[in-house]
Structure 1
Amino acid sequence: MSIIKLFLTFFKIGAFTFGGGYAMIPLIQVEVVDKNKWLDDEEFLDTIAIAQSSPGAIAVNSAIFIGYKLRGIIGALACLLGVVLPSFIIILIISMFLFKYRNNKIVSKIFLGVRPAVVALIISAVYKLTKTSKIKKNALIISIITLFLVVFANISPVIVILIGGLGAILYYRVLGTRC
Structure 2
Amino acid sequence: MIYLELFYTFFIIGLFGFGGDNSMLSLIQTETVQNHHWLSSADFTNIVAVSQMTPAPVGISSATYCGYTAVHNAGMNGMMAVLGSVTATIAIILPSFIIMLLICRMFFKYMNTSITQSIIAGLRPVVVGLLAAATLLLCNVDNFSQPSINPWQFFISLFIFLATFIGTMWMKINPIRMILYAAFAGLILLY
Is there any run of 5+ residues in structure 2 with no aligned partner, and where? 72-80, 145-153
Partner in structure 2 of residue 155 of structure 1: 173
Question: 2: distance between equivalents of 1:47 and 1:98?
Answer: 35
Tell me the CA shift for residue 94 of structure 1.
Answer: 2.5
Q: Specify the SS of the correspondent of 2:132.
A: helix
Correspondence 1:30-179 to 2 at 5 A: 30-71=30-71, 72-135=81-144, 136-171=154-189, 179=191
Read off the aligned partner of 2:62 and give its amino acid letter. S
Aligned length: 173
Cα pair 1:42 1:132 within 8 Å, conserved:
no
Cα pair 1:41 1:132 within 8 Å, conserved:
no
Cα pair 2:160 2:185 within 8 Å, conserved:
no
Tell me the CA shift for residue 27 of structure 1.
Answer: 1.0
Question: 2: distance between equivalents of 1:133 and 1:22?
Answer: 19
Read off the aligned partner of 1:112 and give its amino acid letter. A
Cα pair 2:23 2:131 within 8 Å, conserved:
yes
Task: Return the TM-score normalized by structure 2.
Answer: 0.84
With over 3 angstroms needed to count, the CA separation of the structure-2 counterparts of 1:9 and 1:132, relative to structure 1, is farther
Tell me the CA shift for residue 171 of structure 1.
Answer: 4.1
Tell me the CA shift for residue 129 of structure 1.
Answer: 0.9
Read off the aligned partner of 2:155 and give its amino acid letter. K
Output one character per residue of 1:35-64: Cα deviation in whole Å (capped at 9) or x when no partner.
110011111111111111211111100111
Question: 1: distance between equivalents of 2:40 and 2:184?
Answer: 28
Output one character per residue of 1:43-101: Cα deviation in whole Å (capped at 9) or x when no partner.
11111111112111111001110111233111111000110011111222231222200
Read off the aligned partner of 2:133 and give its amino acid letter. S
Cα pair 2:3 2:84 within 8 Å, conserved:
yes
Task: Indicate the RMSD between aligned Cα atoms, in angstroms.
Answer: 1.5
Cα pair 1:60 1:80 within 8 Å, conserved:
yes
Task: Return the TM-score normalized by structure 1.
Answer: 0.90
Partner in structure 2 of residue 175 of structure 1: none
Q: Specify the SS of the correspondent of 2:112.
A: coil
Partner in structure 2 of residue 4 of structure 1: 4
Question: 2: distance between equivalents of 1:110 and 1:157?
Answer: 31
Tell me the CA shift for residue 132 of structure 1.
Answer: 4.6
Partner in structure 2 of residue 20 of structure 1: 20
Question: 2: distance between equivalents of 1:34 and 1:166?
Answer: 31
